[in-house]
Amino acid sequence: MLIRLVLTSAATGGLLMLTACGAGRITACDGLVYKDGGLTRAEYLPCAGELITMLDRLSQQVEAMLSGEEKARFEAQSTLGGFRAF
């Protein structure tokens, strides 16, 4: 019984960690590799746009958090978890 509880807890914790880290999430920044000539606009622009969108979302969440919304803190933490996927 104790062993089953430990294994279940470990599996659940591992799943939560993978989910929180954005495992398996494909981003516009995947596959970007530095080249001698640098990246072309077409290569980096989708990635930059995705990052700016996330920063805008985070900015709104931080403003809401500073105004006292408790829910915004958890939303901001989730958005930060999305950055870890990059």
Contact 61, 3 (CB under 8 A): no
Q: Print the domain residue range for 75.
A: 26-84
The alpha carbons of the chain give a radius of gyration, in whole angstroms, of 18
State the pTM of this model.
0.62
Residue 37 lies in a domain: yes
Residue 14 lies in a domain: no
Residue 13 lies in a domain: no
Residue 18 lies in a domain: no
Closest CA to 83 of 60, 63, 57: 57
Q: Identify the three-state secondary structure at position 6.
A: helix
The structural domain count of the chain equals 1
Residue 10 lies in a domain: no
CA distance 26 to 55: 18
Q: pLDDT-derived band of residue 3, with 50, 70 and 90 as boundaries?
A: low
Q: What is the pLDDT of residues 42-60, one digit of tens each?
A: 999 999 999 999 999 999 9
Length of the chain, in residues: 86
